[in-house]
Structure 1
């Protein structure tokens, strides 16, 4: 079988602009260039995202800061980062988003980087009113982390994490931690 040959040169700008997921290039958590999929997902005109801080995409300043603090040690260890978290559209709507990023220089984890964003709202709608801390705990529970690990990563006591988990269980009418995680990821049981 002969490999497929193309008669045109790769145009990386076109690939970037037409990628089926939201993409951006950032420096120090400030968007340098974004594609239409990212602008559309978050509800902003494409031109307005250039030179905007990632803070624009977060529900609160506190979540933006805590996520940045959590990203650094992971990027230092792996050179890349990935998670699922609740983000905010221009109209204020909150939605689950899968975020992945890679530093261009491993010694500067939040310096220049390439980031992708995938909207998970069709599979996982935000169905309860959550506080910023509950959103953070929910995202870490979805990753399969225990209360002790969550406590260590968030500088909270395990007891405080358990208190937030109990509030999430009430808000999602879950009788077990397993059922809570299933409801958070949008799986019916």
Structure 2
């Protein structure tokens, strides 16, 4: 089947769900055991990759590091198990194309199809936030994780619990972030992380 242009698609009463999936304005991925089994055009554009480069691959290739991929999976599994859904803003990595290796902020939302085995099968959406939230400083993996939680308004103790580290360690990372972003307060840091 030729790739129809969105403006040439005739509106009918019968919905072509595959076409709707493929042309959705937000990135969509179907997964099994944290491996991509289908994705739409927007995901390919966002990550600078072809479907062939993504299908059959672990989500790990879209993370800045293997550690972040592992920690994120471990952190979200109990939440997917409990609620069936999860969403956050996180730093992801472009795979290929002219921005190959670029780190960018991405809003990710997922739904587990089986709460008892949350990574078994899922539906994930990806929204590129780079136009409103550019990455302005080189950050370590742990700084990226702490930054994401700081933007959610969590305290050092809450972040420490979420990341399974001491709240004092969180305070050290937050202080590093404040220096890198030249922020005088946590509120100022959040503003600067948000692209302000």
TM-score (norm 1): 0.94
Match of 1:44 among 36, 45, 49: 49
Give the number of equivalent residue pairs: 182
Segment of structure 1 superposing worse, 43-52 or 163-172: 43-52
Matched, 1:61 2:76: no
Shift of 1:175: 0.3
Show the counterpart of 1:3.
none
Shift of 1:46: 1.7
Give the whole-Å Cα distance in 2 for the aligned partners of 1:85 and 1:169.
18
Give the whole-Å Cα distance in 2 for the aligned partners of 1:106 and 1:158.
30
Matched, 1:171 2:180: yes
Match of 2:36 among 31, 38, 44: 31
RMSD, aligned CA: 0.9
Match of 1:100 among 109, 118, 124: 109
Matched, 1:148 2:153: no
Shift of 1:8: 2.8
Give the whole-Å Cα distance in 2 for the aligned partners of 1:7 and 1:24.
25
Runs of 4+ in structure 1 deviating by more than 6 angstroms, as ranges, are none
5+ long unaligned stretches in structure 2? 1-10
Give the whole-Å Cα distance in 2 for the aligned partners of 1:174 and 1:114.
37
**Residues 7 and 88 of structure 1: is their aligned pair in 2 closer, same or farther, counting only changes over 3 Å?**
closer
Give the whole-Å Cα distance in 1 for the aligned partners of 2:177 and 2:127.
24
The alignment partner of 1:10 has SS state of coil
Show the counterpart of 1:185.
194
Shift of 1:105: 1.3
5+ long unaligned stretches in structure 1? 1-5
Deviations 1:51-89 (A, max 9, x none): 000001000000000000110111112110000000000
Matched, 1:119 2:128: yes
The alignment partner of 1:64 has SS state of helix
Shift of 1:132: 0.4
